[in-house]
Structure 1
Amino acid sequence: MESLKTKVLEQISLAKQASRQMAMLSRAEKDNALSLIAEQLLADQSAILTANEKDIAKAVADGQPESYLDRLRLTPARIGELASGLHQLIKLDDPVGQLMDRWTRPNGLVMEQIRVPLGVIGMVYEARPNVTIDAAAIALKTGNSIVLRGSYSAVQSNLALTASIRTALAAGDLPLEAVQYLPYEEHASVDILCTATGLIDVIIPRGGAGLIQRVLQKSSVPVLETGIGNCHIFVDYNAVYDMAEAIVINAKTTRPAVCNAAETLLLHRNWPLAEQKALLQKLLAAGVELRACDQTRAAHAELASELKEAVEQDWDTEYSSLIMAVRTVDSLTDALEHIARHSTGHSEAIITEDSESASRFLAAVDATTVYHNASTRFTDGGEFGFGAEIGISTQKLHARGPMGLPALTSYKYVVRGTGQIR
């Protein structure tokens, strides 16, 4: 354990040292580094894919489900998307040094509020190797150092990606120690990272509930919490069928393993039964397992054999697969009460033609993002125009929702005087 702690703290210390240089870099220097990383990813594609194949083979041998394999898998197309994302990030404004506010006090002191990097970011995440690139790129663009600790199941992929990043940093004459990867299998490495007070400025966990809770419980460093997504769609009594079908099918089936996929469908009991039935049949035809409440199953007795009986825990489950809970509710009030009890505060949607109901829903639901007549799948940094995101925060302090570049900055006050004393 002491040996592990020594190795982890040494890497974190190197990141801390590099952060001082990172904070002084110009936008041109940082953007050049991102361009070099994009080129290096494409140049190293064969080595990256070979490393990823090793992780995939191990995951298959371990019996991991296809949804897990999809999160883990890299392809030439996905590597191309990562490179493209870096070029998109280059086009975004650099928030570091941005003048947030300026005012003059009666004594003549000029006060300025300026955006600055957070310093050293600790990133703990699961399965998805693309996070290695996204997180490192956003950290670098905002003048931060980053210490990455992905799940050991993706260690070969993550090491290959990190090697590409560090090669590019060296080519751009930037401190390669600004990006560190912790390759250790022991979970204790996460605990060491989370308690490196004075070296790590913030921890960002990204993954399942177990990972996030472990980080929250262990950490003595401030945590930027990214939450799980138990997302709901409420279909109101006057919803237009074609719109409802398109939104629900999109939110559930396009990428069921992601956190902005819908997990629960709430149906107003007065929405025409024929339309309810058609939507349920459409979901079943798309391969979605439906777990329905007693009222829904009774209303659609002809589908009873295909509608599994929902149990209480279904209302609180992020399935991350082609499973969806279905509940019939008597009113908008009932829908709001259900969401308040079971939501994780990620993304919630209403489909309705009633503007007053929509306004009430949007105001009452406590979530990072609320939708009227749109899919929950839009809760994403790219879709919001932020470029690559480092995660989706479900907390309320510092950052909330998709976290783009400004979320990885803090600010300081610069005070200019002419000899004033107090």
Structure 2
Amino acid sequence: MKLRNKNIIQIAKDAKKTSVELNKLSTKDKNKILLNIIKSLDKNRNEILEANKIDVDNAKNNIKISLLDRLILNNQRIDNMIDSLKILIDLKDHIGEIIDEKTLKNGLKLIKKRVPFGVIGVIYESRPNVTIDVASICLKSSSSVILKGGSEAINTNKILVKLLNDSCQIKNAFQLIESTDRSITNEILKLNNYIDLIIPRGGKNLINFVRDNSKVPIIETGTGNCHIFLDEKYDIKKAIKIIINAKTQRPSVCNAVEKLLIHENTFGNNIKSIINELKKKNVEIRGCNKINEIEKCKIADETDWHTEYLDLIMGIKIVKNVNEAISHINKYGTKHSEAILSYNNENIDKFNNEVDASTVYTNASTRFTDGYEFGMGAEIGISTQKLHARGPMGLEALSTYKYLITGNGHIRK
């Protein structure tokens, strides 16, 4: 493909040049910049919220309410950004650490050292907090970042990136592609001479497009068709609290549960109680035929079992046992977050070992799959692939390594 946009190429060239300068920064230098960002976010709240209001007003009639929630910033969410940055400052800087060190039989000294990626491109949708999360992690990982946010958050992203750059003495550490032309995304994906890694964060269509078209290596942050398996004899009151939290606390995010699998020995009245509590929270139920016999609902079809709703909708299915639950999850899940509610240690071990997901929970809500909750501060995303990182990606995941070999006139015989 012939690249049409010279500005995009220049942005990538500038990022490559800047990455060399970032690698020279000490941990103290990087933490000072992060502290400047914190002060700037706090000082410029009104300006941030005014820009965000423009984006929200523009989007109100174009996206569903649950997805609109992703776009909205308020003082509490700005506080959350600041808290994540404070945690990030306190976290260990992995860049430059010695992973392994040994002397080979031939006398060569080998050091395996952690180093930055260099230039990271992040393509994402809706959520302006991602701008701060991604930029701050890339900074502390000594990588420059090229940001391509969604058109719906363009005004918020502009002010956030301005504040980022005002807080950093190194030019082009944070670059935002302001054009909302989607064809530019395809051009970014071809810049493998300048960009070392692409991370897509968004819906299934975006992630599939990036995976299918990128010449740059990617880390896939997949969608979250997350499940809870309710085993027999589990405390129904505890189960309801967990299920309600996982589904309704914030239904538009990728770690919200979308499907509930219930052991067939669970009493019908308990199933009714679960459904009634979900309905009180305005959750639409799409169930299998057996669920429909217990409580009338829309019958779930094959598309439903595959769908990440990101809305107040839940698919519910009766399964024979833990084996059927695992089989269903591994067929329809997206390798994000899965949970079992059980007192049976054999079933718990089986579920933990056989479910293919980045994060597997026992007797807890799926909503904890998050860099902040895992003590990482901000996160770059939640990887659902197995190479090079998996699950919430913090500082260590945003690095690679090199081998340093020291000899004394060694030649290979």
TM-score calculated relative to the size of structure 1: 0.95
Matched, 1:189 2:184: yes
Question: In structure 1, what is the Cα distance between the partners aligned to 2:318 and 2:101?
Answer: 53
1:352 is matched by which residue type in structure 2? S
- The answer (yes or no) to whether the contact 1:238–1:354 under 8 Å persists in 2 is no
Question: In structure 1, what is the Cα distance between the partners aligned to 2:244 and 2:67?
Answer: 21
| Matching residue of 1:216 | 211
Map residues 152-171 of structure 1 onto 2, 5 A cutoff: 152-169=151-168
Map residues 19-418 of structure 1 onto 2, 5 A cutoff: 19-60=19-60, 62-169=61-168, 173=169, 175-298=170-293, 300=294, 303-304=295-296, 307-418=297-408
- The answer (yes or no) to whether the contact 2:87–2:376 under 8 Å persists in 1 is no
Q: Deviations over 1:233-257 (max 9, x none)?
A: 0101121112211111111011111
Question: In structure 1, what is the Cα distance between the partners aligned to 2:322 and 2:216?
Answer: 41
Shift of 1:421: 2.4
Shift of 1:3: 9.1
1:378 is matched by which residue type in structure 2? F
Task: Give me the identity figure in percent.
Answer: 44
- The answer (yes or no) to whether the contact 1:291–1:326 under 8 Å persists in 2 is yes
Question: In structure 1, what is the Cα distance between the partners aligned to 2:193 and 2:263?
Answer: 52
1:198 is matched by which residue type in structure 2? N
Question: In structure 2, what is the Cα distance between the partners aligned to 1:191 and 1:2?
Answer: 11
- The answer (yes or no) to whether the contact 1:167–1:176 under 8 Å persists in 2 is no
State the secondary structure of the residue aligned to 1:229.
Answer: coil
Unaligned runs of 5+ in 1: none
- The answer (yes or no) to whether the contact 2:3–2:187 under 8 Å persists in 1 is no
Q: How many residues align?
A: 412
Check 1:248–1:68 CA distance in 2 against 1; reply closer, same or farther (3 A cut). same
Query: What is the root-mean-square deviation in Å for CA atoms of aligned residues?
Result: 1.3
Shift of 1:136: 0.2
Q: Deviations over 1:165-215 (max 9, x none)?
A: 00000xxx3x12111000112111111111101100000000000000111
TM-score calculated relative to the size of structure 2: 0.97
Question: In structure 1, what is the Cα distance between the partners aligned to 2:80 and 2:328?
Answer: 38
Question: In structure 2, what is the Cα distance between the partners aligned to 1:191 and 1:286?
Answer: 40
Q: Deviations over 1:355-383 (max 9, x none)?
A: 00110111110110111111111111111
Question: Which deviates the most, 357-366 or 103-112?
Answer: 103-112
- The answer (yes or no) to whether the contact 1:12–1:180 under 8 Å persists in 2 is no
Where in structure 1 do 4 or more consecutive aligned residues deviate above 4 Å?
Answer: 1-4
State the secondary structure of the residue aligned to 1:101.
Answer: strand
Unaligned runs of 5+ in 2: none
- The answer (yes or no) to whether the contact 1:237–1:270 under 8 Å persists in 2 is yes
1:66 is matched by which residue type in structure 2? I
